[in-house]
Structure 1
Amino acid sequence: MANLDDFETGLKVRLSEKARIVGSDGTVLRWDGSCAPNPTATVFPRCEEDVAETVKFCRQKGAKCFAQGGGHGCRVRNNEEVDVVICLREMNVVEVDEESGRITLGGGTIVKELIEAATAKKLEVTTGICNSVGVMGSTLCGGIGRYMGKYGLAIDNLLSVNFVDATGKLHRGVNQETDKDLWWAIRGAGTSLGIVTEATMQAHPQSNDGLSWTGKLIFGDPSKLEAVVETINDLEMDENMCVHFLLACIPPTHAPAIMVVPWYYGPEEEAEKVWKSLLDIGPTIKETFMAPADRLNDGNDPFGEMGGRKPGVGLGLDTLDPKAYRHIWDLYVHFLNENPDAVRTGMVAERYPKTKALSLDRDSAAFTHRDSRYEAICVPWYTDEKLDIRANTFAQTIRNIWIQKCCQRNKIQSYIAVSGLNEPLESLFGERERIDKLMALKKKWDPENYWGALMDVE
């Protein structure tokens, strides 16, 4: 097994001049520290060839490596086996072709960088809702975000990728024409097949000069919970809308509260009409405004903060049951009272219009959950590892309530980007035949399951 000296002497000479290698003291924080690797070395490549050479070197030395973009992925399986983290953050160049609207971005690009590059050219593209999240990781899991009502999922706008396979070979320009089956698998399960070092996506012209209406509505009175839930359920969502429904502790008092983040891609007067049913409930605090595209995610920055322990579990929901959410609220308040260190614990259910995503063939990609009405996640957030058992029990209890009261019978779906460590493959990819297809491709592209530190498809 190689040590840091082996990497500094044997690998460094094979990398480009500005590539860096650091020891465990230079390890990059992940969003969830409860399952983060503790590597011998972290490599910061500056080009695709650096990634390929690092994988080859790790294979030669019998070391397990793991690629990290933004570092927010929840499924670092077998994290204790990871010897080397390949941090792609310095591969973050974004190039925009204004004529075609195509954007090419490096594997370490985060959402904020992609949005800023697109906005500068008056373009927009489906991305995640947190600035610090890696574009590649969120996209390969499907890619949900505000603009999906207009343009579909991020994978629906993915045109091609470059990726390094388990042998260290770099494949350029992989798309529908070059390898139909591989392209199917990459769009939904790409992290199990290799490291995507570059991608090209289709962007679209801005509407309304890129300005949209958003903000936060805080309902400090818990008795309004059922009314908020029922109203969100009854919304008729058009392509210019989305809504995030949260239970969270709101500064400065950090008392648990109900918060709704509505969004409308259009002028303020139209937005107020569209969201009238929610506004009429009477939020304690209403802070809404017109925001440019490159500032839309700013309110989510605290949620994207790195570090701490966040063993979250996610689920696709068909409805928000009011009685179930009253039970969830009571459990949430009790968990906070019993565990003061977990004051940043929260949960969110995101609802996006799905007409565009559902217009595309479900079997066109490994990602399958186009029809979930909500994407929900419960995130216990604390620092003391002694709370791990209680936090995991709390999260699993919430998940079980969702399954029993907010999902169709025998239909459990989990969005990979926010799923827990032990989520069954059927919840991630659907029917057995889809899983069998993935397994066959896994055996072809990664026969030794080298990328098992990511999402396992054995």
Structure 2
Amino acid sequence: MTPLTGHSGNAGARATAEAMHGFRGQLITADHADFDTARAVWNGAVDRRPRLIARCSGTADVAAAVRFARDHDLEIAVRGGGHNVGGTAACDDGIVIDLSAMRATSVDPAGRSARVQGGALWGDVDHATQAYGLATTGGIVSHTGVGGLTLGGGIGWLMRKYGLSVDNLLAAEVVTAEGGVVRASADEHPDLFWALRGGGGNFGVVTSFLFALHPVGPTVMAGPVFWAADDATDVLRFYRDVIAEAPDELGTVVRLGTVPPLPAIPEKLHWRPAIAVACCYAGAVEEGERAVAALRGFGTPLVDLISPSSYVGHQCAIDDTVPHGWHYYWKATNLAALTDDAIAVIADQAYAARSPRSYSAIFHLGGAVARVPHDATAYVGRDVGHDMSIDAVWLADESDERADAETAWARGFFERLRPHRAGVYVNFLDADDDTDRVREAYGDDTYRRLAQVKARYDPDNAFHLNKNIRPG
């Protein structure tokens, strides 16, 4: 086989193309005009320079790229949406197997299912499925990748009614570490299918997903209510009472930070410290109005934006608050419940960040998520009440001092929550949380089972740029 010649000049790219038998996609090296754009990921704090980016056009290209990487002993990064905060979709001096050109979604409205390519974003899926009044549980930001979010579990607005993304996964096409292609489902490679549903990108490159769909929208009762930051303790205690009796159809997320400068919000409120409870009711609008009435009537809101909205519009409503290129650092934990002590810590720490872009978010689980048997998938957070993410955010042109201050805030906040921690959602782990916290995310029994599947499908740990599970 022709050796990899590095990334200097067109001759090197041509030699690589000749060596990568069966590859018909686009090869991007450092001399390419698109190199800097192609290597960038969502988190602008991640700056890595791969030797080669293999932008695949389909499953055969992915298989060819994997075989090439293994033959040349190249480190492998896999890019779907490139949205992981730890930047695992990029690497230095290795190969990025880039699925970003593979974004097609094919809907079977009669069978209520959708086949989604591995590089699709949730906005692509929602656009296709909502044409038929259908949806599946996806992320709350439309430029999040389907692959990364799903493989870690997949929390979103619809999860209390219809389960996590992994609970709606019917099958997956996977390129293995040897460059072969297998189908994983309940009937084919069931061990791999179990591991894919929560175990992340450890077991291969998923080139397509088959999801179950459900009737949702096209109009839903959705949106946020904001209160002043001084009301955070009272709002959180009241919110705890509301969700205790909430129907499965009601999905909610609490956001503590500042009011984002969105067009729908009066300018005088922009960047003001606040607490928001955002809602999406996966059912009839009239029923949704009743379900959110108590929240809307509590205290003195700064602004109430809950209204009948398009589901697609709601799914992308906060996209501009977490854009590509900003710098992000996360700490995260699950919370068994919003106890008075936990609320006291949250209200005390949430507004101590210096950057107006930093925030924390609390996702309400339960409902259909909790009713799936604990060992049915590799996602293990079935019995916790909430996932919480503490998100430090700053701009690329801000000083190192600002970056250090925001990172310290997130770490300090996280430490104050230590008595209330109940595991962690693997998709919320940042780069410095690898190793010990990966085990925390799964627990010993599930981790051990995942390690056995890893040993079967990737014994050399070729796919290790992820929340890594070592073969065992």
Opposite residue 348 of structure 1, the aligned amino acid is A
Partner of 2:332: 314
Q: Counterpart of 1:260 in 2: which secondary structure?
A: strand
Taking a change above 3 Å as real, the CA distance of residues 265 and 87 of structure 1, as seen in their structure-2 partners, is same
> How far is 1:319 from its partner?
2.3
Q: What is the match of residue 44 of structure 2?
A: 33
Aligned to 1:90: 101
For 2:29 and 2:247, locate their aligned partners in 1 and report how far apart those are by CA, in whole Å: 49
Tell me: CA distance 1:184–1:200, structure 2 relative to 1, closer, same or farther (3 Å): same
Using CA pairs below 8 Å that are at least 6 residues apart, which structure has the higher relative contact order? 1
1:450 and 2:462 correspond: yes
Q: What does residue 417 of structure 2 align with? A: 402
Aligned to 2:441: 428
1:453 deviation in Å? 1.1
Structure 2 residue 212 is matched with structure 1 residue 202: yes
**Which stretch has the larger CA shift, 263-272 or 51-60?**
263-272
Deviates more, 1:436-445 or 1:362-371: 436-445
Matches within 5 A, 1:271-290: 271-279=288-296, 280-290=298-308
CA contact (8 A) 2:255 2:275 kept: yes
What amino acid does structure 1 have at the position aligned with 2:218? G
- Distance in 1, matches of 2:346 and 2:251, equals 23
Residue 176 of structure 1: aligned partner: 186
What is the alpha-carbon distance in structure 1 between the residues aligned to residue 53 and residue 89 of structure 2? 17
* Closer, same or farther: CA 272–188 of 1 in aligned 2, 3 Å: same
Alpha-carbon deviation of 1:20?
4.2
Query: Shift of residue 105 of structure 1?
Result: 0.9
Secondary structure at the aligned position of 1:312 is classed as strand
Corresponding position: 1:144 with 2:155:
yes
Q: Distance in 2 between matches of 1:272 and 1:174?
A: 41
Q: Which stretch of the first structure deviates more once superposed, 49-58 or 21-30? A: 21-30
Q: Summarize deviations over 1:378-435 as a string: whole Å, max 9, x none.
A: 111113472444333221222222232x44xxxx3111111233152332112x2221
Provide the TM-score with structure 1 as the length reference. Answer: 0.90
Partner of 1:259: helix, strand, or coil? strand
User: CA distance change for structure 1 residues 7 and 219 in 2, over 3 Å: closer, same or farther?
Assistant: farther
Q: How many residues align?
A: 442
Question: Is contact 1:317–1:375 with CA below 8 Å preserved after alignment?
Answer: yes
Paired letter, 1:219: W
In structure 2, the CA distance between the partners of 1:212 and 1:77, relative to structure 1 (3 Å rule), is closer
Q: How far has the Cα of 1:320 moved from its partner? A: 2.7
For residues 215 and 82 of structure 1, what CA distance do their matches in structure 2 show?
Answer: 44
What corresponds to 1:239 in structure 2? 248
Q: 2:167 & 2:122 partners in 1: Cα distance?
A: 17
- Residue 131 of structure 1: CA displacement? 0.3
Pairing of 1:152-231 with structure 2 (within 5 A): 152-171=163-182, 173-206=183-216, 209-220=217-228, 222-231=229-238
1:61 to partner: Cα distance: 2.0
Is 2:18 aligned against 1:9?
no
Q: Is the 8 A contact 1:82 1:453 kept in 2?
A: no
Compute the displacement of 1:78 (Å). Answer: 11
Q: Is the 8 A contact 1:139 1:155 kept in 2?
A: yes
Q: Which amino acid aligns with 2:456?
A: K
Over 3 Å counting, the alpha-carbon distance change for 1:203 and 1:271 in structure 2 is closer
2:320 is matched with which residue?
302
Deviations 1:283-306 (A, max 9, x none): 011122211222121222123411
**d(CA) in 2 for partners of 1:453 and 1:369?**
23
State the partner residue of 1:339: none
Letter in 1 for 2:424: S
> Partners of 2:449 and 2:47 in 1: how far apart?
30
Equivalent of 2:28, from 17, 21, 26?
A: 21
> Is 327-336 or 258-267 further displaced after alignment?
327-336
Structure 1 distance, partners of 2:148, 2:5, is: 28
8 A Cα contact 1:126 1:151, kept in partner: yes
Counterparts of residues 388-399 of structure 1 (less than 5 Å): 388-399=403-414
Residue 111 of structure 1 and its aligned partner are, at CA, apart by 0.3
Cα deviation for residue 104 of structure 1 reads: 0.5
Worse-matched range after superposition: 227-236 or 287-296: 287-296
Cα 1:266/1:156, change in 2 over 3 Å? closer
How far off is 1:46 after superposition? Answer: 0.6
Rounded to whole Å, the distance in 2 between the matches of 1:68 and 1:42 is 10
Q: Cα 1:176–1:270, aligned 2, differ >3 Å: closer, same or farther?
A: closer
CA shift, 1:450, in A, is 1.4
One-letter code of the match for 2:7? L
Cα distance in 2 for residues equivalent to 1:11 and 1:62: 14
For residues 48 and 126 of structure 2, the distance between their equivalents in structure 1, rounded to whole angstroms, comes to 29
Any conservation in 2 of the 1:164–1:170 contact (CA below 8 Å)? yes
Bigger CA drift: 262-271 or 148-157?
262-271
Q: Which runs of 5+ in 2 are unaligned?
A: 262-266
In the aligned structure 2, how far is the partner of 1:218 from the partner of 1:25? 39
Deviates more, 1:91-100 or 1:11-20: 11-20
CA distance in 2, matches of 1:267, 1:156: 23
Instruction: Pick closer, same or farther for the CA change 1:81–1:25 going to 2, 3 Å.
Output: closer
CA 1:257–1:192: 2 relative to 1, 3 Å: same
RMSD: 2.3
Q: 2:389 aligns with which of 360, 370, 377?
A: 377
What's the secondary structure of 1:394's corresponding residue? helix
Distance 1:433 1:267 in 2: 41
Per-residue deviation at 1:66? 0.8
Q: Structure 2: how far apart are the matches of 1:25 and 1:441?
A: 36
The answer to whether the 8 Å contact 1:164/1:196 transfers is: yes
TM-score, length basis structure 2: 0.87
In structure 1, the residue matched to 2:264 is: none
SS of the aligned residue for 1:159 comes to strand
